[in-house]
Amino acid sequence: MTTPTIAANDPCWCGSGRRYKRCHRVADLDPERAVAEEARRRAAELEAEKYVRPGRLSPRREVPADIPRPAYTLDKHGRPRDRDSARPKDAETIELMRAAGRAAAEVLAAVGAAVRPGITTDDLDAVAHAECIARGGYPSPLGYNGFPKSMCTSVNEVICHGIPDSTVLKDGDIVNCDVTIFLGGVHGDTNATFLVGDVDADTRRLVDVTRECLDVGIAAVRPGNRVRDIGRAIQDHAEGHGFGVVRAFVGHGIGRSFHSDPQVYHYDNPAARTLLEPGMTFTIEPMITIGDWHHEMWDDGWTAVTADRSRTAQFEHTLVVTDSGAEILTRA
């Protein structure tokens, strides 16, 4: 066509209502450049579609009034008022933690069984919420420091603390589901990364090695060792397979408090000199990455993603130190 005689700031000839320079000017003056720019724009859109984006949140799910709640639910911001020490737990508390741990494992298994292409992360949250209540427990994340849902769902490049929403899981995704239940006055905390449909070989290898990292971390638990030994074992295994270890998020003491000392680093941290003693209870929950282990935060203040948007996986158990090693409390 003949290029119209029109000023750059005039309305475009096509009737779109936009200025000519913002609409058809490039296409009229340099069609090849216009085609190239459209190709670049579409390529950028396709690249962005590969990564997780915030979805819509459903209303907060309610918990029946007769179910006992952790103390932080009494604070309008969900802030814990006190915190357990790292001291070993007594036999009564450990027995309560066995029950809470088994319940958490059962809830996680139910969530994992629901993972499939086409389900939303909010649907998975509904499963976790209902399973906690069916066991007479409170879903510990709900309201904790203001967290709006009953579990964490972290998809693909999301390291941890993803908020369940309208995000639809697709074939080839992975999703880390982090479940904690408050039952009998104590918390049981566990998570696992699940494959969604047909997942590529590199991602499967990441998930397998991450599970192994949890195993070698648990194997390093014994009286007389230090927290540092756990992190060293995990880092050696992950990096030996070419993967990265996230530094910013750690395992933690657990019991009547959701989080307490000791902080359990998943890398060799010389400052992690806490001595392991029988009766101590804590989580080990390595977060392993295919690429860069550094993280960035979404604006929601919760969701952490890998800086290079590479995939990441996580597994977690709650355990107690025994006279000869560790007992895993979060097994069904």
- Structural tokens at position 21: 């320079």
Where residue 85 falls among pLDDT bands split at 50, 70, 90?
Answer: confident
Per-residue pLDDT tens digits for 146-158: 999 999 999 999 9
Mean pLDDT (the chain) is 93
Predicted confidence at residue 1, as pLDDT, reads 44
Residue 36 sits in the same domain as residue 143: no
The whole-angstrom separation of Cα 279 and Cα 271 is 22
Residue 124 sits in the same domain as residue 260: yes
Residue carrying the six token digits 């950028």: 44
Spatial neighbors of 129 by CB under 8 A, at least 6 apart, are 61, 139, 142, 150, 151
Whether 127 shows a pLDDT value over 60: the answer reads yes
Spatial neighbors of 323 by CB under 8 A, at least 6 apart, are 223, 278
The whole-angstrom separation of Cα 138 and Cα 70 is 8
End-to-end CA distance of the chain: 72
Instruction: Mean pLDDT check: name the lowest of 46-60, 82-96, 256-270.
Output: 46-60
Residue 39 sits in the same domain as residue 98: no
CATH number where 212 lies: 3.90.230.10
Spatial contact of 27 and 18, defined as CB atoms under 8 Å apart: no
Spatial contact of 252 and 215, defined as CB atoms under 8 Å apart: no
Q: Is the pTM of this model over 0.85?
A: yes
Residue 34 sits in the same domain as residue 153: no
Residue 36 sits in the same domain as residue 114: no
Predicted confidence at residue 29, as pLDDT, reads 73
Per-residue pLDDT tens digits for 29-44: 777 766 666 666 655 5
Compare 15 and 199 and report the one with higher pLDDT: 199
The mean pLDDT of 170-199, rounded to a whole number, is 98
Helices and strands: H and E segment counts in the chain: 6, 15
Residue 208 sits in the same domain as residue 112: yes
Range of the domain at 275: 59-328
Instruction: Mean pLDDT check: name the lowest of 19-33, 227-241, 269-283, 287-301.
Output: 19-33
- Structural tokens at position 304: 């952490």
- Structural tokens at position 320: 């107690």
Whether 217 shows a pLDDT value over 60: the answer reads yes
